Structure 1
Amino acid sequence: MTTITLVQGDITRQSADAIVNAANSSLLGGGGVDGAIHRRGGPAILADCRRLRAGHHGKGLPTGQAVATTAGELDARWVIHTVGPRYSQEEDRSESLASCYRQSLRVADELGARTVAFPAVSAGIYGWPLEDAARIAVETVRATDTAVEEVRFVLFDERAYEAFAQWVG
């Protein structure tokens, strides 16, 4: 049984086996959580991402998929990069968002990770409404068969924390 915990704070300051990065498809860094993870984790993460781009992920990582790299200077063994969908009022992309969580947990299982820290994927610059992003995240983690013992949602501010607390409580 996976325990779900909530923390308000900076995901780059977490100690976990794996930290999930809300990456962009290029895998080469960006803004928000992605930029923060690359900055705090140092050049080893970017070097691993470049190796992935030179190999199987030459065109980038598709939305809803996940892949792991070293965690560099972060207090973790791995960073699991996942590409969330941009929110759209015209098209239901909920399955793509749920896939980010399922695929990240699949990668965590392959690595043997027991603790995984997640941000609120797609709820930042990708515009997903926070309450809906929280519902999809928590419901998907609860429904996913995984050996991960603790999933920790690391929420940047009180508003995000409260949105997730509605579903975890």
Structure 2
Amino acid sequence: MSKLGFQAFAAGMIVATSVLGGTYLLSDHQSATADSEKKEVTEKQVNQFLKSNGQVSITSEEYEELLALKKEEVVQEDSENQQQTETAKETEQPKETEEKKEEVIKYNITIKEGMTTSEVSDVLEQNAIIASSFEFDQYLIKNNFHTRVQLGTFEVQKGMTFQQLAEAITR
């Protein structure tokens, strides 16, 4: 931009600022201050509003009491659920050990060109091989396995450690 262009731009800015400043000084400030005045809301108005919206107001003390009661109910439900779970575990413990032995999930993962370690981790999580794709991905990065992942199809199974999985896909 030339020197003349800068001068024209500066002159335009000065004219625009002068026009806005003059408008502000000559405008009626009373309407702006009237809108900004605080309006007092009475308790009666608040109660009418709440009633019209199907709500009620309570004091802080009542609210704290309700919270305490709710916490007691949750604790009681948790203890009841825990007792039921323990009873169920005791009666079904032999069956569960048999089911766990049969519950071996095997999966053939195919790693293609351009796949990232996070994509590989996501596939493993989606197929119930690992519980957390984020944790496995972080393990690969921390232990420098992310640079050694190989292309191909690899057989993995549920219950393998992160170390075993990493070794399987980096052969």
TM-score where L is the length of structure 1: 0.24
TM-score where L is the length of structure 2: 0.24
Report which of the two structures shows the higher radius of gyration computed on alpha carbons: 2
Q: Which has the higher helix share?
A: 2
Q: Which has the higher contact order (CA 8 A, sep 6+)?
A: 1
Q: Which has the higher strand share?
A: 1
